[in-house]
């Protein structure tokens, strides 16, 4: 048997053992438990988060514009009160 083929066979056997090992079962169980725990939490996807961030940025911009408009109208109204009738 040639050395490279022998090493390939050993590698295949080790991979087979690792695939059937208790560590693989533990990994599956841990993933299932974490998936279940995360499923119970109120989490959002990255896409949903980005959409909400854009909505909030737009709302903040609109609020700033409206605050400036109200301040402008209040100044204009205060200026009208100073004029004699």
| Same domain, residue pair 36 and 69 | no
| Same domain, residue pair 32 and 58 | no
Report the domain count for the chain. Answer: 2
* DSSP annotation string for 17-77: HHHTSHHHHHHHHHHHHHHHHHHHS----HHHHHHHHHHHHHHHHHHHHHHHHHHHHHHHH
In tens, the pLDDT along 15-58 reads 777 777 777 777 788 888 888 887 888 888 999 999 999 999 99
| Same domain, residue pair 24 and 52 | no
| Same domain, residue pair 35 and 48 | no
- pLDDT confidence of residue 23: 74
| Same domain, residue pair 49 and 35 | no
Read off the pLDDT band of 76 (50, 70, 90). very high
| Same domain, residue pair 34 and 70 | no
pTM score, two decimals? 0.50
Residue 1 has pLDDT above 60, yes or no: no
- pLDDT confidence of residue 85: 54
- pLDDT confidence of residue 5: 80
Domain hosting 72: range is 44-85
How many whole angstroms separate alpha carbon 34 and alpha carbon 24? 15
| Same domain, residue pair 3 and 24 | yes
């Amino acid at each position: 048997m040639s050395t490279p083929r022998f090493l390939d066979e050993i590698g295949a056997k080790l991979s087979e053992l690792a695939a059937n090992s208790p560590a693989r079962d533990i990994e599956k169980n841990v993933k299932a438990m974490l998936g279940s725990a995360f499923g119970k939490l109120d989490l959002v996807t990255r896409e949903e988060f980005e959409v909400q961030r854009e909505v909030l940025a737009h709302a903040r911009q609109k609020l700033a514009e409206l605050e400036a408009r109200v301040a402008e109208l209040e100044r204009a109204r205060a200026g009208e009160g100073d004029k004699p009738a």
